[in-house]
Each structure stands twice: as C-alpha cells, then as structure tokens.
Amino acid sequence: MARMKFLCDAERCIECNGCVTACKQEHDIPWGVNRRRVVTINDGVPGERSISVACMHCSDAPCMAVCPVDCFYRDEVGVVLHDKDLCIGCGYCFYACPFGAPQFPQQGAFGVRGKMDKCTFCAGGPEPDGSPAEFAKYGRNRLSEGKLPACAEMCSTKALLAGDGDVIAEIYRNRSTVRAARGTRSGPPWGWDSAYGGGQPAPGGKS
C-alpha cells in the first residue's frame, strides 16, 4: 500500500462545491470551519480554473514540523492526523501550511481559538474506530469501513480523485491519454475540448 493522496483535475472541476458540502455533511462540521474549499482563479474570464483544496497530507508536513506540542502523526497509509486532546490551538500549523488546511473554531467568548480541525482523509483520529468520541472530535472514519473520502466519492465530474497515490495517478494518466487521443482540432490534451469533447460553448450558451 502506497500513500493516500488527493488529486484535483482543474480541467474538470466546475466549482459546484459538492465536495465541500459532502465533507461538511459527512463529518457534521460546525459553522465557520471548512476542511475543504474550492479555489477559483481568473474567475469569470476566459481561462478560469477551479481546484478543490484541503489538507494534502504532505509527505514532509510543515504542520508536523512546527507543532510545539507534537500532536501530529502520520498513519500507516500516509494520512497526516492529529490528537485534539493535545492540541493547544496556537495556530502555528495554520501559518506553516501552504494550503491553509488547519481550521480553528471561533465560537468562544472573545473569539479565542479552539482546537485545530482539518481534513482527516476520512480516517478519524486517535480514538477507537467508529466510536462516538472519534466522530465528535474528528468526524466519520470511512477509511476503516473500506471507503474513500466522501468529497472524492461525491464529486460529480470526478475532478477530485482520492486514494492510493499510484492508483489515482494511473487513473489520471489514463484520462490524459484518452483526452490526447481525441485529437480535437490542434488542441493539446487540456482545455474544454479535451475534458468534455466538442467545441467550447459560446458566451450565449450555444456551442
């Protein structure tokens, strides 16, 4: 078993936020905390691209390096998790993370930081698998049920892939090869044509 990874195909993401909704629903995440979000660049202009971002479960995670209480660990399949009982909510991990993955609830008086919350790759945390304590602190443990993260499994265009890095890389490679083989006009294996086939719709809505 290799490492668990996410891969987002920017050619396919349609910014529907289905992944964000699936995540919030699956783990009963409180208002104000977003373990996953969709980032769009060049919004509303030609060349617009969206990508779904959450914890990337880095192989050399900066959050792990900066945590003053060492509450982070990497499990057997490469998922970066943390112990909320140990977290002091200092926010160092938030400053260190290049993806803005760590989230902090702001529900207390005076807006104090709570325990850090982040994407768990639907792998729960250091509590008995499937226990109420695990759900309350870390959300559902789908990985122990033999399922993949809810965000990727719910993705309608299959832009977001999750699973064993080798397997999803192979799926993406296969997809790129099929796109390239379509040979639409002189188009390269990316862009609207290669992702969906046919011509790109005109601004009026007709292609």
Partner 1 sequence: MKYLAAIVLALPLVLFVSACGQREEVTRFKQGTYQGKPDTPPYQSAPFNGDKGAWERQLATRAQSQNEYKRTN
Query: With binding defined as CB under 8 A, does residue 158 bind partner 1?
Result: yes
Query: With binding defined as CB under 8 A, does residue 43 bind partner 1?
Result: no
CA angle, residues 85, 97, 175, in degrees to nearest 5: 110
**Toward partner 1, which CB reaches closer, 15 or 75?**
75
Query: With binding defined as CB under 8 A, does residue 163 bind partner 1?
Result: yes
**Toward partner 1, which CB reaches closer, 59 or 174?**
174
> Which parts of 168-187 interact with partner 1 (CB under 8 A)?
168, 171, 174-175, 178
Query: With binding defined as CB under 8 A, does residue 136 bind partner 1?
Result: no
Among 37, 78, 153, 190, binds partner 1 (CB under 8 A): 153
Among 127, 151, 189, 195, binds partner 1 (CB under 8 A): 127
Query: With binding defined as CB under 8 A, does residue 49 bind partner 1?
Result: no
Among 28, 49, 145, 183, binds partner 1 (CB under 8 A): 145
Closest residue by Cα to residue 12 from 157, 198, 172, 201: 157
Among 167, 183, 200, 201, binds partner 1 (CB under 8 A): 167
**Toward partner 1, which CB reaches closer, 39 or 148?**
148
Residues near partner 1 (CB under 8 A) are: 1, 68-73, 75-77, 81-83, 85-86, 123, 125-130, 141, 143-148, 152-153, 158, 161-164, 167-168, 171, 174-175, 178
